[in-house]
Chains A and B, each alone.
Chain A
Amino acid sequence: MANGILATDPNRVSFYEYEGKHKGILSWLLSTDHKRIGLLYLISLLAFFAVGVTLGFLMRLEMISPGPTIMAPNTYNSVFTLHGVIMVFLFILPGLPAIFGNFFLPIQIGARDVAFPRINLLSWYLYLIGGVLAIVSLFTGGGIMDTGWTFYVPYSIRTTSNISLSVFAAFVLGFSSILTAVNFITTAHRMRAPGMTFFRMPLFVWALYSTAWIQLLATPILGITLLLIIAERMLGVGIFDPNLGGDPILYQHMFWIYSHPAVYIMAIPAFGVVSEIIPTFSKKNIFGYTPVAISSLAIAFVGYLVWGHHMFSSGISDISRLIFSLLTFLVAIPTGVKVFNWVATMYKGSITVKTPMLFVLFFIVIFSIGGLTGLVLGAINTDIHVTDTYFVVGHFHYVMFGSMGILLFAGLHYWFPKMFGRMYHEKMAQVSAWIFFVGFNLLYFPMFIMGYLGMPRRYYDYLPEFTTYHVIATVGSWIMITGMIIMFANLIRSLYTGAKATENPWGGTTLEWKIPSPPPLENFREIPVITEGPYEHHFNKEENT
């Protein structure tokens, strides 16, 4: 690629050192630089993640033995609600687009920033305001919210807790999501460097682009639902509440029309990270660029039409269960295509297993389990048996934590040199990854077995026959958390003690590896001209890297 044009200008300082209008903390809080905003998101998301993990830890501790262990039933109900709300709405959903999307989307397409830098900052503020409102709502009103993260009516109407405020918080978060989506779609369409056609975009950009469309089209439905809830609660209009003549099933439809595509909002950017890391560490082109790119769009499109599989036991008509089941199976196909292409990319590669690659390998193992157990939930008769049991809990942790969570860790290690200008300590990172992987499977795999044996979810207590599985899961949670603590401690230590990172420590081929680490304020001194696809390794030059 046009390396000469991209040569580093020693006079241009990194975006950390650049002094703009504001100094100190304000240089972050008022910055419109996509890289600083990405880091703001990183810090806020990890803070919420830490809270979510702590709550999960407490839940598992309660479940280590039958009967009361460390908390009362109402506390447990609040804890799993908080865990779900924080993890889904404040961590997983903004997730990778907010962090890596902001930081790397403009760089990967050869742009100096996103299309609307100020709106970008606004969306971070909306995220923060929404997050704070959500936290406030959970603790004010008639007690801590205990509805579960799905807020099913009529229970959510009857409960005394502060639904209207938390619903409003979700509404604000939705706006943040929509604004980011508009920004990314516009950026991908209008800001690409000369010569970068759509089919020369890195696959991470494809993933962000597909995700942005789902966010843009699905989030307004959440907004409408939330406004209807507020109208019902404040004005007494009967929409969902059967006592007012409303229909609780309608609520479930509207909730899942948004929240199912939201699963793909979480997963598709994670798939994009995989498509970046495997070619880099296999030193070769991605296998099947076009199928991988198109499968993102296919998942985004079909993923819209499968929400009913959350409601197979709710009493919706038999014919709609049939159609939703069929569509659910169809969405498995593009996902499978991705996995096959990733594995095929390694064929005849020259593979080095650094930590990012190790996490990707773990992801393929874990996501295969998560995806394949999804077949049990897609087939109607097995779903009826396992829905609302621990089987589902196991499945969605394998899928969501297994994709978005693990690939956040993979991306953090992969892009750590670029974002912070230092290398992380490799050996410790690999140790932590292995500990995490072992703990993860011990924690979530027993849930499949428990679920099939009939252990319902959201249960404070359980029948004695499930004790063994619960004990294994709880011990797994300790191991998994230990792995994560070591991993983050290692990353924080590396910020100060890591070796200085070169421009391209992994031998990556996408544009972020052709600018200094960390990048200068405007990324590129001169906008590059693109002449080939994103993953072309030129072997004669590889000797240097």
Chain B
Amino acid sequence: MRPDIATQVDNTMILIVAVCIFFFVLVTGTMIYFVFRYNKKRNPQATNIHGNTPLEVAWTVIPLILVLVIFFYGWNGFSNMRNVPEDALVVKVTGQMWKWKFEYENGKKSDTLFVPVGKPVRMNIHSNDVNHSFFIPSMRVKEDAVPGRENYLWFKADNIGEYDIACAEYCGLDHWNMYAKLIVDTDENFNAWYNQVEQSEKKTNSGETGNTTNQDSLKNNSGNTDDSTTVTDTTQISDTTKSE
């Protein structure tokens, strides 16, 4: 069983926060104690101490060991982030000013990222214009979208629900509004939606579709999978008709 990315990030964070609190209390506590204990009133005559080599070695080596442990945790979590499971669902995401566009392997396009619960998802990240950064806070993953290259990340959503996708690299006027939704649903619901759209894509066979896919259509569509070709997003059909 592979460890969960988000859990690993949170665990590293907990470790670091523990180390932080320890050193913070140690340093500031000692400092405040000295300020009162060795105040001029209590201690009118200072004792000159030039240093202490064993102490210097101690507070070089002990923090060194601690940071190497933290480094190891960070690296360990990171290697998990970079090794995508082989059965991952592959989705291409393209950032452009100021929206995210998702494209599935079957050619289905969407403005909302639909994924099945519990399945690894690999995002291949592109940009059409300037740098963006694909960021799903609740999954603890982020990777920049850089024009002219493909970056990737992967995540696995363990709970059904709706999550925010943000742009984390400043990209101009509406950077703050470049949000999209990640919708995690059951396998059946996802597959229904996925296959339904696949048929519509095959039928129209156009690269321009999907820009205006209704973001809330997952549940509606999944209820109507039997006659899928007729009940896909109306906006999408009208778009493709125009383009043909």
Considering only CB atoms and an 8 Å cut-off, how many residues of chain A contact the other chain?
A: 86
Residues of A within 8 A of B239 (CB): none
| Stretch in B73-81, B84-92, B224-232 touching the partner | B73-81
Q: B23, A372: Cβ atoms under 8 Å?
A: yes
Inter-subunit contact B172/A146 (CB<8 Å): yes
- A505 interface contact, C-beta 8 A: no
A336 to chain B: which residues have CB within 8 Å? 23, 59-60, 63
B13 proximity list for chain A (CB < 8 A): 376, 382, 452
A284 touches B47 (CB 8 A): yes
Q: Is B174 an interface residue (CB 8 A)?
A: yes
A272 CA to B67 CA in the complex, in Å?
25
Determine whether the beta carbon of A385 is less than 8 Å from that of B141.
Answer: yes
CA distance A389 to B141 in the complex (A): 12
Interface size class of B (residues with CB under 8 A): 35 or more
Contact A346 B34 (CB under 8 A): yes
Within 8 A of B (CB), among A270-299: 282-285, 287-291
B67 touches A332 (CB 8 A): yes
Q: A residues 438-465 with Cβ under 8 Å of B?
A: 452-454, 456-463
What is the 8 Å Cβ interface bit string for chain A, positions 338-362, against chain B (1 contact, 0 not)?
Answer: 0111011011111111000000010
The residues in B between 12 and 37 inclusive whose CB is less than 8 angstroms from any CB of A are 12-13, 16, 19-20, 23-24, 27-28, 30-31, 34-35
Q: Which of B44, B79, B147, B149 contacts A350 (CB 8 A)?
A: B44
Residues in chain B near residue A463, CB distance under 8 A: 164
Q: Decide: B34 and A351 in contact? CB cutoff 8 A.
A: yes
Query: B173 on the interface (CB 8 Å rule)?
Result: yes
Contacts of B68 in A (CB 8 A): 329
> B residues touching A (Cβ–Cβ < 8 Å)?
5, 8-9, 12-13, 16, 19-20, 23-24, 27-28, 30-31, 34-35, 38-40, 43-52, 55-56, 59-60, 63-64, 67-68, 70-71, 73-82, 129-131, 133, 135, 137-138, 140-144, 146-149, 151, 164, 166-177
Which residues of A are at the interface with B, using a C-beta cutoff of 8 A? 73-74, 77, 146-148, 152, 154-155, 158-159, 242-243, 247-249, 282-285, 287-291, 313-315, 318, 321-322, 325-326, 329-330, 332-333, 336-337, 339-341, 343-344, 346-353, 361, 364-365, 368-369, 372-373, 375-376, 378-385, 387-389, 452-454, 456-463, 536-537, 539
> Can you list 30 residue pairs at the A/B interface with Cβ under 8 Å?
A73-B176, A77-B175, A154-B131, A155-B172, A158-B130, A248-B131, A248-B146, A248-B148, A284-B47, A287-B51, A318-B79, A322-B75, A333-B64, A337-B59, A343-B34, A346-B31, A346-B35, A347-B38, A350-B40, A352-B39, A368-B23, A368-B28, A372-B24, A376-B13, A379-B70, A384-B140, A385-B9, A454-B166, A457-B168, A536-B48
A-B residue pairs, 7 tightest by C-beta = A454-B137, A379-B74, A381-B77, A242-B148, A315-B151, A388-B168, A380-B78
